[in-house]
Structure 1
Amino acid sequence: MLKRNLPLLTLFLLSACTQVSDQSPLHTASATLPEYRQADFQSYLSDTRAWLEQQRVFVSADKQAELDANMPYELQPADGLPAQKAILLVHGLGDSPFFFRDIAQALSQQGFLVRTILLSGHGSRPADLMLADSDEWQTMVSHHTQLLQQQVSEVWLGGFSTGANLATSEALNNDDVSGLLLFSPAIVPESAMTHLLPVANLFSNWLDQEAPDGNYTRYGSLTTNGATQYYYTTRQVRQQLADSTYDKPVLMALSADDSVVDSEAVKTLFEQRFSNPASKLFWFGKTTEPTDPRIEILTSHLPQQRISNFSHMSLLFAANNPFYGRNGSHRICENGQTEAAEQACPNSNDLWYSNWGYQEANKVHARLTWNPYFDRLVSGIETVTAADQQASR
């Protein structure tokens, strides 16, 4: 999801009452979206790069870095051996394949053939989300899952936020999927007002328009249609889970303080609808005794690292990530605090890190954009995926 994370009712009221006439290239849609049904992945990569080179509105001086961040990609198993297992990774709303850089490298080290895709409407300009359609996103995930299943017999799906919804829906429809890796799955929205998004979409093209801030890994503005398509993915996967359980192994990671996701509701779904005994949920929050032995609780309050709690996006990134890591080049100061705190953030020598919207007296918080437990998460992924191999023997 995107950086604003404002209460949805506020966004709905603003969008229903206000039309912003911004005709900048960022806020003007492309004529068409790129094709994604190529017969092989290399053709998909080539066609996607050609389209992005023509349609992306660049927001930094480093155009090559921007293209690389938004391009889908493939990583072969790091051991150099022929792939025996593979995974398709699906990013979130407004995000890019860059979000899986650290996870993808870890999976490659574990012997996976790793592929990421670029969801239609992404990677080019925020206005292209006016053209997005959640059914097309689902078809895209299905097509690229099938391409992998033609190549190897063991295929996993992984997703972040909206991408986790799409991955879960595909797995529930495709019995040949071996299991799921779900990071901040946005199955149940934090706001109860998301059902109003289709109505808001009738009145306004935009929920939020922002000037670029140099972050080329995600959009800084959000179309009403993009948010509406996200809502449709939540509705679809919840309907599926209401009718069935998922009995393949699942690795799920959730921040208890997530401002996008109703984490408690998703945790309940994990306990009740994801039935495999080898599944595992990493819960980053208060250390209370879990009711399900498959849940591992890791405290998110780490004052020695000036971390107050974990954000929606922080679970994906290692501390040494050059862009989002502890000493990374990009800091998200627009974090739902007071204006004074956000102004103080860029030059603060005593900066704390948190989820969007968290405030504490006498502290300035930027968004937490890395996971101090990243290595533990990677270890958990290996345990869950190995459990599937043992069960299949």
Structure 2
Amino acid sequence: MSVNTIFKKAMLSTAVFFTSAFSANVFAVNVFTTKAASSLNCVTINNDLVQIEKFKQAGTYRFAKGGVQRINFDFASEQPFKNYLVAARAHINAQNPKANMPCPIKTETSKRLYADKPLQVVDLITPFELKAVNEKAAVLLIHGLTDSPYLFHDLANSFVEQGISVRTLLLPGHGTAAEALVDIDQADWRQAASYAIKSMLNDFDNVYLGGFSTGGALVVDYLNHNALNETEQQKLKGVMLWSPASEAKAGMAWAAKYVSWFQDYLDEAADIDFAKYESFPANAGAQVHALMKRIEPQKLKGLRNIPFFVVASEVDQTIETDATVNMLARWHGQNGAAQAQDKLVYYYANKGEDQLNALPNSLKTVTTFSCAGQVYCESVLDIAHTSPTNAPSNPHYGWQGSYRNCEHLTGTDLFASCKTANAVTLGELTEANLETTPNLQRLTFNPYYDQMLEQMQGFIKSTLR
């Protein structure tokens, strides 16, 4: 379900959240066991609609094992990154109810990390580090709200092939169960991002910072509120953002804070997607809204001389693309025209580029792309917020992937059709798309992934000097 839809649902709801209902769900988690459930893996779990409904009603994967605990790691310390990776994996194992579920998902990144060993969910969602041969730079990748580092498995492999080492970060409250976001604060995310960014600038000579959605907002926020010393400025070569969180598409996003006072969840789902949460705590929306308020264009002051590469969709239904364009225009204005050749806005548009009028002409290196020669082209309407970082070949989120994003249809008769139909239509959750295709599957891969990689490689070549 898109954040836009979630917030609309929240504002229509006036029911007070009853703690007795929460207690019943917790009890259900303890008693709900079946032979079928014990034999599931992260792929087959997507196929049984009856079981999915049971998981949703019981909250089987919504709640953390043993109650929510914080990761046993001090982000204010200067511990080596390898210590953080050990702590994060232990945290996932201790808290995630699916951590040890078999997960026969093979990506090029998982092959680099684990060779041919049988995989579990923890292996695919834990943060990781990949060292490139003949390393020329390194990139830090920070995922989005409710996501996990699995989101970067495709990009990570592409970076390593270019000689760029990769580190990923698991944001506090993620990688375990949606319950962990009920009481999280965006300051926790900022502290974790600060640790990871400082670690990068300390450990590598040439650094890129990358983020998807909320992860992108955290990168911008850090650079805007923390002055880099001369050495750090020389090391930081550029920033790469995919669907960066700048402003919520939903006009009532601010209300999530107040909704969270009365109910824990805006949406309760089965949480069968091993790589991210499907249930959405109200507090999660409130915290990302607070984070985005910190990077409003008029508040940007510390982004000078940092080249950027940004991927955005014209029809993004989670983030307001106009706000992203305004943020980039402000950023570019601080850098000056001399830096323009180092910046690239990679913009998916179907109807022209009217939203780009706020950008100076020197930044309008924007191309609209056509999908041709692939079997999925006729099935894709447009690019969703959730699309840019995943390749069509991704075994979980790709064209033939094991997972279909149908959560916007949960509780309706169309949910089953979206999950099981042989002929599917994919795109963003726009009103027009949903009107013409009621059982629309939200797109989770990038039809133009190879073209994006080509542009990204050009950006790196122009900035790595």
User: Same fold by TM (over 0.5)?
Assistant: yes
* Residues in 1 aligned to 2:459 and 2:284: alpha-carbon distance in whole angstroms: 33
1:98 matched to 2:168: no
* 1:383 aligned partner: 458
Are 1:73 and 2:128 an aligned pair?
Answer: yes
Distance in structure 1 (CA, Å) of the matches to 2:268 and 2:146: 13
Question: What letter corresponds to residue 89 of structure 2 in structure 1?
Answer: R
8 Å CA contact retained: 2:387, 2:446: yes
Aligned counterpart in structure 2 of residue 58 of structure 1, from 94, 98, 106:
98
Structure number with greater Rg is 2
Greater mean alpha carbon deviation, residues 169-178 or residues 251-260: 169-178
Q: Indicate the structure with greater helix content.
A: 2
Report how far residue 210 of structure 1 moved.
1.4
Q: Retained in 1: the 8 A contact 2:269–2:407? A: no
Q: Structure 1 306/72 Cα, relative in aligned 2: closer, same or farther at 3 Å? A: same
Question: Which residue number in structure 1 is paired with residue 40 of structure 2?
Answer: none
Deviation track 1:54-78 (CA, whole Å, cap 9, x = no partner) reads 111118842643102220001111x
Q: Is the 8 A contact 2:99 2:120 kept in 1?
A: no
Counterparts of 1:174 and 1:68, CA distance in 2: 36
1:224–1:345 Cα change, 3 Å = closer
The answer to whether the Cα contact below 8 Å between 2:249 and 2:319 also exists between their aligned partners in 1 is yes
Contact in 2 for aligned 1:95/1:219 (Cα 8 Å)? yes
Asked whether the 8 Å contact 1:158–1:167 carries over to 2, the reply is yes
Normalising by structure 1, report the TM-score. 0.89
Matching of residues 353-392 of structure 1 within 5 Å? 353-357=426-430, 358-361=433-436, 364-390=439-465
Structure 1 equivalent of residue 63 of structure 2: 27
Q: Distance in 2 between matches of 1:126 and 1:210?
A: 10
Match for 1:70: what amino acid?
A: I
The 1-side partners of 2:438 and 2:279 are apart by 27
CA 1:16–1:239: 2 relative to 1, 3 Å: farther
**Pick aligned residue for 1:119 from 142, 167, 171:** 171
Using the alignment, how far apart are the partners of 2:262 and 2:425 within structure 1? 39
Give the secondary structure class of the aligned counterpart of 2:464: helix
Give the drift of 1:40.
0.8
The alpha-carbon distance between structure 1 residues 298 and 239, as it changes in their structure 2 partners (threshold 3 A), is closer
The residue aligned with 1:6 is 5
Q: For residue 158 of structure 1, what is the aligned residue in structure 2?
A: 210
User: For residue 161 of structure 1, what is the amino acid of its counterpart?
Assistant: S
- Cα distance change on mapping 1:72 and 1:32 into 2, 3 Å: same
Q: Are the structure 2 counterparts of residues 361 and 146 from structure 1 closer, same or farther at C-alpha, using a change threshold of 3 Å?
A: closer
SS in 2 for 1:216: coil
Q: CA deviation at 1:41?
A: 1.3
On the 8 A contact 1:70/1:217 being kept in 2, the answer is yes
Q: 1:59 to 1:374 in 2, by over 3 A?
A: same
Task: Please point out which of 175, 180, 183 is paired with 2:239.
Answer: 180
In the TM superposition, what is the alpha-carbon distance from 1:350 to its structure 2 partner?
A: 2.2
What SS class does the counterpart of residue 247 from structure 1 fall into? coil
Tell me, what secondary structure is at the counterpart of 1:95?
Answer: coil
List gaps (5 residues or longer) in structure 2: 30-59, 104-118
Kept in 2: contact 1:132–1:226 (CA 8 A): yes
Identity percentage of aligned residues: 24
**TM-score normalized with structure 2 length:** 0.76
Q: Give me the CA root mean square deviation.
A: 2.6
Q: Which amino acid aligns with 2:269?
A: E
Are residues 1:17 and 2:11 paired? no
For residues 128-161 of structure 1, what are the alpha-carbon distances to aligned partners after superposition, in whole Å with 9 as ceiling and x for unaligned?
1123221121111111111121221221111011
Residue type at the aligned position of 2:10: L
1:179–1:250 CA contact under 8 A, matched in 2:
yes
Partners of 1:236 and 1:387 in 2: CA distance = 30
Matched, 1:284 2:284: no
For 1:292-371, list aligned pairs within 5 A. 292=361, 293-299=363-369, 304-336=377-409, 339-357=412-430, 358-361=433-436, 364-371=439-446
How far apart are the structure 2 equivalents of 1:200 and 1:300?
Answer: 41
1 CA distance for matches of 2:304 and 2:452?
21
TM-aligned CA deviation for residue 330 of structure 1: 1.2
Cα offset, 1:230, TM superposition = 0.8
**Contact 2:297–2:327, Cα closer than 8 Å, also in 1:** no
Q: Which of 48, 63, 75 is matched with 2:88 structurally?
A: 48
Q: Which runs of 5+ in 1 are unaligned?
A: none
Distance in 2 separating the partners of 1:11 and 1:164: 25
